Amino acid sequence: MSLFSSDKLKGKRIAILATDGFEQVELTEPQKFLKNEGATVDVVSLKSGSIKGWDMTDWGDKVDVDKTLDDVKVADYDALVLPGGQINPDKLRVEPAAVDFVREFAHSGKLVAAICHGSWTLIEADVVRGKHMTSWPSVKTDLRNAGAEWQDSEVVVDGNFVTSRKPEDLDAFNKKIEEKLLGTAS
């Protein structure tokens, strides 16, 4: 444990579902934060090996995949994190196994946290109707058309959903994920 680590989330297991084209910091920052708080964090993807990030305007770094969708089930985890980027959620929302995993997670009542374009997969899973949410501004109409109430806020909590807009909201996003996992968030 480093000087900046704790064990607040020890025993919690988090899945980060992503594929090539995820927004770099929207995966790596929650991953680092949650691990530093003691959680076990698995990057779950469509394929084994590694996936490549998108860093604002160009390809970013590769991130190792811990498990494929074939290797996991919702019962293995306490929370699901859906990073954005335009490419990543667009690829995930056309993969039936990814959409089924997200749908099952949302229906389980466990924490689902999406940032930026990550909510596209939630829309495809048909689980946003009646939810108060935020996202990258260009996803606003998609969420509204799917029945969500969109608001322009740093972080929005509605039941088991936590959503944020963009990389600049990551501190609030990460903190709210932690609070929900600890049972201290409203």
User: Is 117 an annotated catalytic residue?
Assistant: yes
Q: Is 13 exposed, middle or buried (0-12, 13-18, 19+ CB in 10 A)?
A: middle
Strands 58-64 and 40-45, sheet pairing: unpaired
Among 116, 125, 139, 148, the active-site one is 116
User: Is 116 an annotated catalytic residue?
Assistant: yes
Answer whether 54's CB lies under 8 Å from 87's CB: yes
d(CA 44, CA 69): 6
How far from 138 is each of 36, 111, 120, 166, CA to CA, in Å? 32, 24, 11, 11
**In the sheet where 58-64 sits, what is the strand order?**
22-23, 50-55, 58-64
Among 93, 110, 117, 140, the active-site one is 117
H runs (alpha helix) in the chain:
24-36, 87-92, 96-108, 119-124, 140-145, 170-182
d(CA 38, CA 89): 27
Residues with a catalytic annotation lie at: 116-117
